[in-house]
Amino acid sequence: MNVSTDNMVYHQPIDVNVLNYLTDYLDAGFNLFPLKERDKIPAIKWKPLLKKPLTIDELKQFYETNPKLNIGIIMGPTSGGLIVLDVDHSPPEQLVFLLAENPTAAVQTSRGRHYYFRSKKKLPNLNFNWGELRSNDVYVVAPPSIHPNGIRYDFLNDCHLNEIVEIPDAILKFLTTRGSVVGKRGNVNPDSGLTSKSFKGNSKGKLPSNELIYPLLGNYTVSRDSPYSLLGNFGNTYKDPEIALKVMRSLGINVSKLGEAFRCPIHEDVNPSAALWKGKNGTIMLHEFHQGDNFWTLPEMYASYICHKKEFMKLSKSQMVEWWIRVLENIGHIQLPTIKFKPLPANVSKGTKATYEGFIYLIRIRKFYNQNEAEEAPFSWGFACDWCNFTKPTIQKGLKWLLANGYLEKAKDAIKCGKREAALYKLKKEGCFLK
């Protein structure tokens, strides 16, 4: 075989992981071939493979020589009708809605997602300004390949190849009424009945403006819901629809059931474009679908909202727990333990008061979470600004005053706090009074 890659200079045992992918793909009936290492460029001539696909032994030879080669899968009848909808970060709302309604295997790519479908009919390749439908005489880069920018192609949520569904009519209709056919018209098989003129959908690509109900997406889990597991026995609060609805109402967002669309709490949007969503493990999250397809935990939504953020903020696991307990206290679902602290004189600045009260509040929350918690907590600038809802200079001034006047002490200059470091502060106990 004529191998054109420069990388094949040494031999080493085939990577078990790559071998698993290769055999899984072959079992699924896919026609695959090696791409160059960390590249989308074929390592061999692939068009001849349409007539004679590579066998597992032939594939093994390539990947034994260089296990870092990427994997390409040829689209269309040669791969059992496999087609891939390549979607970037901002697909139209209606498509997001359709994809949510019709779960299938999907891959996280460097700029969006690849949704894997099968089609019994031969489809044209279609272009959109947000992506493309790759149907035949083309290939896609498949997991576990690495994009030239270093990002790995990865199946979403450990989905399996046997979860690839026949492309639903609604999605096909959506695509064929909007896409422009790639290449000359003559390249499209006229008998396929699927040129761009075939369907005359009347959808304008807009969601219903008043209310949108969609089925809960039982087949998906979002890995970022896992921090709730830190809550132990209290973890069930994040699965309770009544609590989720109460949280929304506490923010002034009137929503009466899961799946009911409302206006995004963070972004200005004209049409309702967010909804509460319940995943496979029962976690309720905010699904935001007016600019891509984003999922946020309820504490992230709450924190972003009350901090008047222009974008949603990501919280670390421990921050998420702290914010969630704060949410539960605010809606009256729990009571925080009281702690002793030294009261401030009446004439301190607003910022100092807010910093002190914010820190005490944080300690009470940490005590709720763990009764044996020492009365100390990491309090980074970034976190403190959001938590106390004041600017950095105000917080800095407040902390300085509290340290200088014996209200707080620094237990440690820097401790690990997620990926960052933060100073560890402690309440001073001398002359304390019960709250």
Q: Which residues bind Zn ion (CB under 5 A)?
A: 264, 267, 288
Would you state the structure tokens that stand for residue 87, as one six-digit string? Answer: 């979607």
Supply φ then ψ for residue 72, to 5 degrees.
-115, 140
Rounded Cα distance, 203 and 213, in Å? 17
Rounded Cα distance, 395 and 401, in Å? 10
C-alpha dist (Å) from residue 312 to 244, 260, 301, 304, 327: 18, 20, 7, 5, 16
Rounded Cα distance, 421 and 145, in Å? 33
Q: What is the residue whose two structure tokens read 């949280």?
A: 247
Q: Residue 71 in contact with residue 110, Cβ under 8 Å?
A: no
Nearest to 417 by CA among 392, 382, 373: 382
List helix spans (H) across 273-369: 298-306, 317-330, 350-369
Would you state the structure tokens that stand for residue 302, as one six-digit string? Answer: 């709450």
Q: Residue 139 in contact with residue 73, Cβ under 8 Å?
A: yes
How many DSSP H helices and E strands does the chain contain?
10, 19
* Residue nearest to Zn ion as judged by C-beta position: 264
Q: What is the residue whose two structure tokens read 């068009």?
A: 47
Q: Minimal distance in Å, beta carbon 101 to Zn ion?
A: 20
* Contacts of residue 353, Cβ cutoff 8 Å, sequence gap at least 6: 344, 398
Q: Residue 411 in contact with residue 424, Cβ under 8 Å?
A: yes
Supply φ then ψ for residue 259, to 5 degrees.
90, -10
C-alpha dist (Å) from residue 424 to 4, 221, 242, 373: 57, 34, 36, 13
Long-range contacts of 254-257 (CB under 8 A, 24+ apart): none
Supply φ then ψ for residue 139, to 5 degrees.
-130, 165
Rounded Cα distance, 33 and 38, in Å? 14
Q: Residue 255 in contact with residue 61, Cβ under 8 Å?
A: no
